[in-house]
Amino acid sequence: MIYYPQATGSIEEDTRAIQGCLDQASSDGGGTVWLSAGTAYHSKSLTLRGHVTLHLENGARLVASGDIGDYRAEGGIDTDETRGVGTPVLRKPAFAFLYAYDAPSVVISGEGRIEGNCFQFVHRVNPYYHAGSFYPRPTLIYLERCDNLVVRDVTLADSPFWSLHVAGSDNVLISAITIANPLDVANSDGIDIDHSTNVRIIGCHVRCADDGICLKNTAGNRGYPPTAQVLISDCTVISTSAALKIGTEGVDDFADILVQNCIISASNRGISIQIRDGGSVTNARFSNILIRTRLFSADYWGKGEAIAITSFDRDHKTESGKISRIRFASIATEGEGGVLIAGDEGKISDIRFEDTEVRLTKTSSWPVVGYDLRPRERKPDLLERPVSAFYLSNATDIRFSDVRASIEAHEGFSTTLLESESASWSGEVEPLN
């Protein structure tokens, strides 16, 4: 059955109409709530229901309120005392626009737009960076314990915080969605998968400030199975931080991750495995990926690294996990950073690179200054040194096969293809003509 809420231009009436249709469809055993083309619906927070599809017809817009009082409040706001090093997300989202809990077979579909009204919740800090006065700001879509979940085709735009946060869910399909956030609004991640299993992210385009597609195990959702069995395929990503990332919130382990056939462009960091909490990462494979990086403002983590694999204790109370059995094959990178592998002693081992090309070339007006080690309590945060194609520190059993690199003449670049400190490796990095 299909349910058609009528838009009136009143946020109160639009909210009642949409939520009423969602609730009625659920009471009737399932159905589709249809938002019509050429119509803008303005709404407060909405609660999605199990076995109900929210469908936005091409040309339909669902616009979130710009008043924080209109949002469902749950997890609380972090303070300076609770925030921690690197501002980890410590609890469930404080505010969410579209929300579902224990709602199996939820579907969000259609070619319409869901808009987050981000500029109502941030202010400009400098020409390159907007931030908010509280943290975390509203999540555009938060779906928890929603097995057999589908999000397809829709556009998510102007999110004040994470755009699509899926937690505690099994059998998740995210297909052909577009995320279009401003590149200067902090924390506006694209897709965040948290304590979820059997996840497929296929054919999506993500443009955002902060992380593009990110796997997490947050403290707020501890108790669900850890994130595992994840496929990311055929996506294009632009990010002012990491385009494809595992971490930094990682209180539990990550395993069995396959990333393939993706294109990363104009990003401050390409692929990042960034462990700062107790969870470890094992058995992750990346293949057939094109990466182009460029430096951005220092407000965002990353210094143009094409690939960054790091494990550092977040603080003196938190020992970071280990990273092992990571494979890279058929990777081509070009930009202002190469490959960084660095961690506290004994944390990183068994990394393989094959059929990999790394080209260091100057692409922005920002200075090349070294490697970004944030977040961690121990200083320095920035390893200031000339940038090499590969830089290894405190890592063991790193192997290279058919790996090539070139370095453009520039004062910020080293002339050495591979530099190693307290690391063991085999194979070689050959000059790339």
**Structure token pair of residue 317:** 């109370």
79 with 151: CB under 8 angstroms? no
**How remote is the C-alpha of 254 from its chain's centroid?**
15
Instruction: Tell me which amino acid residue 280 is.
Output: S
- Beta partners for 207? 180, 238
Give the span between the Cα atoms of 359 and 428, in whole angstroms.
Answer: 16
The overall average pLDDT reported for the chain is: 96
**Per-residue pLDDT tens for 191-217?**
999 999 999 999 999 999 999 999 999
Instruction: Tell me which amino acid residue 278 is.
Output: G
63 with 39: CB under 8 angstroms? no
Domain coordinates of the chain in residue numbers?
2-431
**Which among 245, 273, 252, 288 has a CA at the least distance from the CA of 343?**
273
Q: What is the pLDDT of residue 415?
A: 94
244 with 212: CB under 8 angstroms? yes
329 with 356: CB under 8 angstroms? yes
Give the span between the Cα atoms of 103 and 294, in whole angstroms.
Answer: 41
Q: What is the pLDDT of residue 77?
A: 77
Q: What is the pLDDT of residue 355?
A: 98
**Whether residue 375 has a cis bond before it, omega within 30° of 0:** yes
Tell me the pairing of strands 307-311 and 339-343.
Answer: parallel
3-state secondary structure 334-375: EECCCEEEEECCCCEEEEEEEEEEEEECCCCCCCCCEEECCC
SS3 131: strand
**Which among 133, 121, 9 has a CA at the least distance from the CA of 67?**
121
Is pLDDT of 69 > 80? yes
Q: What is the pLDDT of residue 83?
A: 73
Average pLDDT over residues 23-38: 98
Average pLDDT over residues 150-166: 98
Give the span between the Cα atoms of 336 and 411, in whole angstroms.
Answer: 12
- 186 — pLDDT class (breaks 50, 70, 90): very high
Average pLDDT over residues 132-139: 90
- Beta partners for 130? 124, 185
Q: CATH code for 2-431?
A: 2.160.20.10
